[in-house]
Each structure stands twice: as C-alpha cells, then as structure tokens.
C-alpha cells in the first residue's frame, strides 16, 4: 500500500474536530453523543502518534481545536451580524479568530504529549489527558474564560456522568481523554495499551461504586411558573415594538400566575427602572406583597450616570425586595475589554458595559427553599456557583438560570446551554429551573433529568413542581473550598513528572 496523501492527516483532524463539536449537542436532535466524543478524540491521538515532529503535532491539535470550537459556537456569528449589525465577513472572521486563539491552548497540549508521552501506552494516555485538562482549564479561566463546549459536556447522558458529583465536568473530560487515548493506542496493537485499556474500566467502576451522597429532600415541593416571552431579539430593545410587547406580556403573566414562584427571564423587563411607565414596578411589588406567591424577575438596574447591572429582583410577601447582580459578564456583550471599544462600536448592542456583582451572593429564600439565581452563561462556571456552598447551612437548594439567548437564533446553542445546566445539576445534586426568552425553558431534577420543557421559540408559561435538595456532593465540598486548584495541581503534577522522567531517560 502506498503512503497516505500529505493532506490526509489535516483532513482527518478537521473531521475529528467537527465530530467533537457535534458530540456536545447533535444539530439534528440536540442530544449529547458521548461515544462520538471519545471516537473523535481517539482519532486525534492516533494522528498525533504518527507525526514526525512536535511542531506538526501541535499544528494538528490546533486545527482540530479550531474546527471543534468554531463548529461548536458558530452561532456567535448570528449575534454579531444579524443582531449586532457587524458586517458578515468581519463577524465570520471574529468567530474564526476566537476559535483559533483558544485553540492554541490545545496545540500546546498536543505538543506536550508528542514530546513527552507518545509511544508509552498507559502512561502516555494519562499524560495526554493531563495536558488536555490543563488546556481546558486555561480556556475556562484566562481572559475571563469561555469554556462553552468543554469536552466533558458530551457525557451528560453517558456512563461518565456518574463522575460529575465527584470531579465535575473538567474531571470527566480528563477521564474521557484517558479512555480516548487508550482507544487510539489500542489500535496500534501494543500489548501494554491493551493491558491499560482493560484496567481503565475497572478503575472507572471502582470510582462509580463509591457511595455517592444522596441529597435529602428540603422542605417538600414548590410549584413554579417559568415565563418564556419569545420576544424577537431584533425588536427586544426597540421602543415601538419589543419593549411594549415585553412590558405588556410579562406584566400580565406575572399578575395572573398562580404558582408559588414565578420566574421571568434575563432582561424580561428591558428598561432601566427610571425609564419604565409610571407605576409599573409599584404594581408588581404590590402584586407580590401579600398572599403566598413570590417572583424572580430579570431586568437591568442602575443608571447610565452611575452605572448599571444585569440583575434579578425578588418580590415576596412581608420581606424586603431581593436583588442579585450578574457577576460573570460576557465580553463585548456586557463589558468592553481594554483596547476593544472600536470593535463594540461597530455593533448595535444596548447596555453594553455593565458593572459586576459579587461571587457567592445570597439565595432567595422562599417556602423553605433557597433559590440561587444565575444569569445566562454564568452557569458555565461551576467553580463560581460552588462558592455558594461554602456554608452548608446556607447553600442553595435550587438553582435558577435566567437567560436570553435569542441573540443566537434557532440554533443548537439552546440545547448546548440546556446540557450545561444539566451538568451543574449533576455536579451539585441540585435541581435547576430555567426561565428563558426563547429556550430552553425547562425544569431539571437533581439527577440532571429534564422533567418539563417548553418548545423553543414559542410564547408560553411552563408550570411544574421542583423538589429542592440539600447536602453537599464531594464536588461541592472541594470546589467551594479550593475552586479549581486541585485540578490544576493534578494536571501540572502529571506533566511535571513526565518531563522529569523524560529528562532522565536516554535521548532517542
């Protein structure tokens, strides 16, 4: 047989990267495909093994990651071009450059694997996983972090989901990388790789068999009404169309709902308080000042002179108004990074420079539950949500995600975000209720199962019950105390050990 064409590894890297993106949420049904994630990563490792130099391995890893990331959140193009008004070529280039920049972390991981761990079977698989873990952490932390589509999210429905309450989504990504690397090395026919592959399921079963904390019921069930206004994004902040529609529809549904807790999504009320019609907020406050109902409502607070926040207010009888301010802001959409004012000026995005709220803000206490709001993509950052578990007596019993991803149209972004919330439910053994503008409005139980869901891009009210939970998972305990430091230490320790062994080994 002749040698494969020189372009073959690059084409396969593109194919594997796109496969990795599809595994997070398949475009045809929104489901996570854990087996596809393992196969696509195994193909990457097999390609790395066959490269003649570390530079080529790094470039292949960069191409894989750029295609994976770009194909995962290509819908950023919609927010910048369709709704932000940025020229299509510049919007497409922006998505590509972001994917290429973040892909450089994985290029480094692949170079490290080639230099230190290829051809070493079981230990090489662990080294690849450690380097991959560090790349995932860098993407999730540096430059405000954008970990959307991390490889662990493909396993929200797979056998590795059992690890979520122990090691979280990044730990799942590490184990998946070990298994994928072993799969690739097995294909090489090495006996050591086969021995390692036989040991991996035994280790995995041992971890899963450990006694997982079963969170106890906390205060029974609470009925919820989750509002999905489906206000068109191109009209949402327009004074003659979307604004009056939002004020009228959400105002009416908040007045008429009969559930114990009513939740309206992020910026459901799209105006700062001083710009609202006279008496609007007073009528809402009066509605929930008596009786046995409460509400969480998304709206901006503050003023252009003193600054404003992307916030949630809580209204309940016989108690002061509650307030939560979004902490983890979206670059360009909610704050302007240094030196990038020129870029945001090219887009038509209202309220583009918010102030930050603090980490670990108090929960909204109602009917024996502690409802912990987070806004939009804040639920990507499990380590930040984990700060709320530092005091077990005050830890949340229910997470409440309030989002507006109408910016991204009718795309797979809706299903991807739903899987993110499901992973948080698994990590903390907490139910998650989601109230969104266009989807996915849903109720997720503490096992990560979607029990109720509205069809996306419809206007309606999702009514159901949620059962709050209490008690701390192992993940909640360590992430609330140390954040992601244990994972950083684990990855760095493995890479450092491999480098030391390499340095002491005879040169090949």
Give the pLDDT of the chain (508 residues) as one tens digit per residue: 445 568 899 999 999 999 999 999 999 999 999 999 999 999 999 999 899 999 999 999 999 999 999 999 999 999 888 888 889 999 999 999 999 999 999 999 999 999 997 666 668 889 999 999 999 999 999 988 999 999 999 999 988 998 999 999 999 999 999 989 988 877 766 555 566 556 566 666 665 565 555 555 555 899 999 999 999 988 888 888 999 999 999 999 999 999 999 999 999 999 999 999 999 999 999 999 988 999 999 999 998 777 889 999 999 998 888 999 999 888 766 656 555 555 556 566 665 678 899 999 999 999 999 999 999 999 999 999 999 999 999 999 999 999 999 889 999 999 999 999 999 999 999 999 999 999 899 999 999 999 999 999 999 999 999 999 999 999 999 999 999 999 999 999 999 999 998 887 755 4
In a domain, 2, yes or no: no
Please give the pLDDT value at position 188: 67
Among candidate residues 317, 408, 417, the one with its CA nearest the CA of residue 367: 317
pTM: 0.93
Give the residue carrying structure tokens 């298994």: 179
In a domain, 92, yes or no: yes
Does one domain contain both 257 and 125?
no
In a domain, 479, yes or no: no
Does one domain contain both 280 and 395?
yes
The number of angstroms, rounded, from the C-alpha of 304 to the middle of its chain's C-alpha atoms is 30
* Paired tokens of 391: 């005091």
- Phi then psi for 399, rounded to 5 degrees? -90, 145
In a domain, 266, yes or no: yes
The number of angstroms, rounded, from the C-alpha of 444 to the middle of its chain's C-alpha atoms is 15
Does one domain contain both 176 and 31?
yes
Does one domain contain both 432 and 492?
no
Which range of residues forms the domain containing residue 83?
8-212+484-504
- The SS3 of residue 451 is strand
Does one domain contain both 18 and 85?
yes
Q: Which of 162, 236, 376, 378 is catalytic?
A: 376
Does one domain contain both 359 and 463?
yes
Handedness of CA 255, 257, 258, 260 (dihedral sign): negative
Dihedral (Cα; 160, 138, 494, 200), 10-degree rounding = 10
Does one domain contain both 141 and 221?
no
CA–CA separation, 406 vs 423, rounded Å? 22
Give the CATH number for residue 465.
Answer: 3.60.110.10
- Give the count of domains, the chain: 2
Whether 326 is catalytic is yes
- The SS3 of residue 27 is coil
Does one domain contain both 390 and 302?
yes
**What does DSSP assign to residue 71?**
H
CA–CA separation, 226 vs 259, rounded Å? 9
Does one domain contain both 71 and 193?
yes
Please give the pLDDT value at position 304: 74
Q: Which of 49, 136, 162, 266 is catalytic?
A: 266
In a domain, 68, yes or no: yes
Handedness of CA 232, 237, 242, 246 (dihedral sign): positive
Whether 266 is catalytic is yes
Handedness of CA 148, 149, 150, 156 (dihedral sign): positive
Does one domain contain both 154 and 83?
yes
CA–CA separation, 128 vs 151, rounded Å? 14
Please give the pLDDT value at position 408: 92
Among candidate residues 414, 409, 344, the one with its CA nearest the CA of residue 377: 414
In a domain, 29, yes or no: yes
DSSP class per residue in 180-214: HHHHHHHHTT-HHHHHHHHHHHHHHHHHHHS----
Does one domain contain both 237 and 342?
yes
CB hemisphere CA count around 484 (13 angstroms): 21
- Measure Cα distances from 336 to 95, 349, 353 in Å: 17, 11, 6
Whether 376 is catalytic is yes
In a domain, 371, yes or no: yes
CA–CA separation, 206 vs 394, rounded Å? 32
Burial class of residue 310 in the structure, from the number of CB atoms within 10 Å of its CB (0-12 exposed, 13-18 middle, 19+ buried): buried
In a domain, 44, yes or no: yes
Q: Write b or e for each residue in 437-475: b if 16 or more Cβ atoms lie within 10 A of its Cβ, otherwise e.
A: bbbbbbbbbbebebebbbebeeeebbebebbbbbbbbeb
Does one domain contain both 173 and 276?
no
- Phi then psi for 436, rounded to 5 degrees? -135, 165
Q: Which of 236, 326, 383, 427 is catalytic?
A: 326
């Amino acid at each position: 047989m002749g040698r494969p064409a020189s372009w073959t590894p690059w084409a396969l890297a593109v194919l594997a990267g796109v496969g990795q993106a599809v595994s997070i949420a398949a475009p045809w049904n929104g489901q996570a495909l854990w087996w596809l994630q393992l196969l696509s990563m195994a193909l990457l490792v097999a390609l790395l093994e066959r490269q003649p130099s570390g530079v080529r391995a790094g470039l292949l890893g960069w191409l894989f990651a750029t295609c994976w990331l770009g194909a995962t959140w290509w819908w950023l193009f919609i927010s910048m071009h369709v709704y932000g008004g940025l020229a299509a070529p510049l919007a497409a280039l922006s998505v590509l450059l972001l994917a290429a920049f973040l892909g450089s972390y994985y290029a480094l991981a692949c170079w490290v694997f080639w230099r230190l761990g290829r051809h070493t079977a079981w230990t090489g698989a662990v080294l690849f996983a450690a380097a991959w873990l560090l790349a995932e952490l860098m993407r999730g932390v540096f430059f405000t972090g954008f970990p959307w589509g991390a490889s662990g999210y493909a396993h929200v429905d797979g056998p590795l989901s059992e690890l979520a309450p122990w090691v979280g989504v990044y730990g799942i990504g590490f184990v998946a990388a070990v298994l994928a690397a072993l799969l690739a090395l097995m294909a090489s026919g090495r006996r050591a790789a086969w021995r390692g592959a036989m040991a991996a399921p035994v280790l995995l079963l041992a971890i899963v068999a450990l006694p997982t904390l079963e969170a106890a019921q906390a205060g029974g069930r609470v009925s919820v009404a989750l509002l999905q206004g489906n206000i068109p994004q191109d009209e949402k902040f327009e004074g003659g169309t979307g604004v009056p529609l939002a004020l009228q529809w959400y105002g009416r549904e908040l007045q008429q709902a009969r559930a114990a807790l009513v939740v309206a999504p992020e910026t459901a009320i799209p105006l700062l308080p001083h710009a609202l019609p006279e008496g609007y907020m007073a009528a809402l406050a009066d509605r929930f000042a008596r009786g046995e109902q409460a509400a969480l409502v998304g709206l901006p607070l503050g003023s252009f002179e003193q600054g404003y926040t992307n916030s949630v207010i809580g209204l309940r009888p016989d108690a002061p108004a509650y307030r939560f301010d979004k902490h983890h802001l979206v670059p360009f959409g909610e704050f302007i990074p240094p030196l990038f004012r020129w870029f945001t000026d090219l887009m038509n995005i209202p309220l583009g420079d918010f102030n930050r709220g603090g980490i670990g803000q108090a929960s909204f206490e109602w009917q024996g539950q502690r409802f912990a709001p987070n806004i939009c993509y804040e639920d990507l950052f499990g380590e930040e949500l984990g700060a709320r578990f530092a005091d077990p007596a005050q830890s949340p019993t229910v997470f409440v995600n309030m989002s507006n991803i109408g910016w991204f149209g009718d795309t797979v972004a809706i299903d991807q975000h739903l899987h993110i919330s499901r992973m948080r439910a698994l990590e903390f053994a907490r139910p998650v209720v989601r109230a969104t503008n266009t989807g996915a409005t849903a109720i997720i139980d503490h096992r990560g199962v979607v029990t109720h869901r509205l069809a996306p891009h419809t206007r309606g009210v999702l009514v159901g019950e949620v059962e709050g939970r209490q008690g701390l998972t192992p993940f909640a305990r360590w992430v609330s105390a140390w954040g992601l430091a244990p994972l950083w230490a684990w990855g760095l320790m493995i890479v450092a050990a491999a480098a030391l062994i390499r340095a002491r080994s005879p040169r090949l």
